[in-house]
Amino acid sequence: MELAEKFAEEVENKGFEADIVDLCGLNFPLFTPELARTIMPLDGMSELMQRLSSADAWVICAPEYNGLTPPSLANTVSWLSKEGEDFRALFNGKPVGLATASGGGGEYIISAMRMQFAFLGCTIVGRVVISKSWKEANPASITAVVDSLSKLIS
């Protein structure tokens, strides 16, 4: 959450609005196709879709879990894929910056997120932010990601 807050501060310093979505706080149940058939629409999903679709760009900050995306992110994307007639409309062309706070290297989750969100149709900026337990996020990198996103939305 600390990394997301640093991004939010930079976004607001540039004159934009920031909205941090804590996926763990959504408490979505574990996605299964069977569950999706029985409980759709999922409580809280329409609000999440509104928040995500109204954003001009996203910065996805996620910790690395054993070299992959955290369960909360994978689970949320799975639920989003079942929402509405055309879930890809949420992702298509959306400018996205990627960041991680990792106890390890962090490169694996960046690669995994780059692949997944590009597959979903997002426009991923080239610069990323990797914060490690022994090395804080580089403020210049945070600024560079926000500047890249700003150029894509203007």
Mean pLDDT of the chain: 94
Q: Report the SS3 class of residue 10.
A: helix
Please write the tens of the pLDDT for every residue from 51-66.
999 999 999 999 998 8
The CA distance from 143 to 13, in Å, is 10
pLDDT of residue 103: 84
pLDDT at 2 over 90: yes
2-153 belongs to which homologous superfamily? Answer: Flavodoxin domain (3.40.50.360)
Please write the tens of the pLDDT for every residue from 21-40.
999 999 999 999 999 999 88
Domain residue extents for the chain = 2-153
Tokens at residue 104, please?
A: 């390890």
Q: Report the SS3 class of residue 47.
A: helix
The CA distance from 36 to 66, in Å, is 27
